[in-house]
Structure 1
């Protein structure tokens, strides 16, 4: 059985939400571990096999998966019956993977840099800026409720997740705000948020 190493109220929460949304709660073993927090509380957990003691981390037999975009692709490929991914050969496979890599390589770094008040021309040249990210989201959501069309997918859950933690980073764009609200209103999001709060 695959095992997900998770720390409540951390980046791994988005993967726990995906597991819940996919209906895999009885097919994924979840092990709660501690991680180093920004406020200095807690610390690395020796039970966590991640090489840097980070979360999320997934073990599946001898295979190990780290980084959220990789976990999303791995889980949706391994359990395609959920319909939240886009398997090899699907007409939206490229778009699905592009959003995962865009989140990991562009959107999250920019959100963290903005939160930390770090700015430099080299960052804009490399990552773009948040206005460009929000323009891309708005363009994708023009005329449709989710990034890949009419139904929620794993990319919606991942890309909307930082705004649950950083509501001040939410852009003042009606379509994006409505999309974030739709994603946050899903039963899996509410269930895992309540569980995380109880376990923290």
Structure 2
């Protein structure tokens, strides 16, 4: 049995989305985004007190990129990974891990907008800089999707993969802080992803826990 420890709308969402696509047997344990992630019990699963944490047949994993690589190797028949020697292997690795670049800027903005409760604790400069850095990430995705390759609907030449899941989930978080209005190909790609049932099933349940109470958090003084 696979057990995913998950905080809705966090990085663990990418692993939940992937598990949905894999049709794997798994269960989800939801956690609030609070000090309980620092409990001695949870730290045995994830020593930095972060999600996701994954339990598989007595073994434990605590880095989402590693989970994605491992799960794609464990379920190769689903075609979401790219094996060594595949023409898309290099690009697959790059985009799977580029998701963390996007997520790091979103994490900083999540802290600024949500975790710091007093205006005096927040930095308008950091908010504006990090929102602009997200737009730089969007520009990289836009350039990839604008490459003149036939049927470039997804990040890889051979089509949909876990790279789209990872970057798509990172963009899902990022859109709370930076809009896609100036990135038409990225917006169309993201719309294709969000139509998938596997994505819909990874969203917070109605009335359930969520990290973001607003759809969009504008940069300070915007």
Q: Judge same fold: TM > 0.5, yes or no.
A: yes
Task: Quote the offset at 1:198 in angstroms.
Answer: 4.6
- 1:138-153 equivalence runs, <5 A: 138-142=142-146, 143=148, 144-149=152-157, 151-153=159-161
> Partners of 1:91 and 1:198 in 2: how far apart?
44
- Against the structure 1 CA distance between its residues 9 and 129, is the aligned structure 2 distance closer, same or farther, given a 3 Å change threshold? closer
Structure 1 gaps of 5+ residues are 37-41
> Partners of 2:143 and 2:36 in 1: how far apart?
41
Would the aligned equivalents of 2:139 and 2:183 in 1 still touch at CA under 8 Å?
A: no
Aligned length: 186
Q: Does structure 1 residue 189 correspond to structure 2 residue 184?
A: no
Task: Quote the offset at 1:159 in angstroms.
Answer: 0.7
Q: Does structure 1 residue 173 correspond to structure 2 residue 173?
A: no
The 3-state SS of whatever aligns with 1:170 is coil
Q: State which of 136, 143, 166 in structure 1 corresponds to 2:140.
A: 136
**What TM-score, normalized to structure 1?**
0.78
Would the aligned equivalents of 1:56 and 1:66 in 2 still touch at CA under 8 Å?
A: yes
The corresponding residue for 2:36 is: 43
Please list the CA deviations of residues 69-109 of structure 1 after superposition, one character each: whole Å capped at 9, or x if unmatched. Answer: 111111111111111111233221111111122222x2222
- Against the structure 1 CA distance between its residues 191 and 101, is the aligned structure 2 distance closer, same or farther, given a 3 Å change threshold? closer
Task: Quote the offset at 1:175 in angstroms.
Answer: 0.3
RMSD of equivalent CA atoms: 2.8
Task: Quote the offset at 1:47 in angstroms.
Answer: 4.7
Q: State which of 26, 30, 33 in structure 2 corresponds to 1:32.
A: 30
Would the aligned equivalents of 1:14 and 1:161 in 2 still touch at CA under 8 Å?
A: yes
Please list the CA deviations of residues 36-71 of structure 1 after superposition, one character each: whole Å capped at 9, or x if unmatched. Answer: 2xxxxx632555321133211112235322222111
The corresponding residue for 2:102 is: 107
Give runs of ≥4 in structure 1 deviating > 6 Å.
none
- Against the structure 1 CA distance between its residues 47 and 7, is the aligned structure 2 distance closer, same or farther, given a 3 Å change threshold? farther
The corresponding residue for 1:10 is: 10
Please list the CA deviations of residues 125-174 of structure 1 after superposition, one character each: whole Å capped at 9, or x if unmatched. Answer: xxx94454223211211241100035221111111213333424133111
Q: Which stretch of structure 1 is more off in the superposition, 145-154 or 180-189?
A: 145-154
- Against the structure 1 CA distance between its residues 101 and 47, is the aligned structure 2 distance closer, same or farther, given a 3 Å change threshold? same
Would the aligned equivalents of 1:137 and 1:176 in 2 still touch at CA under 8 Å?
A: yes
**What TM-score, normalized to structure 2?**
0.71
The 3-state SS of whatever aligns with 2:36 is coil
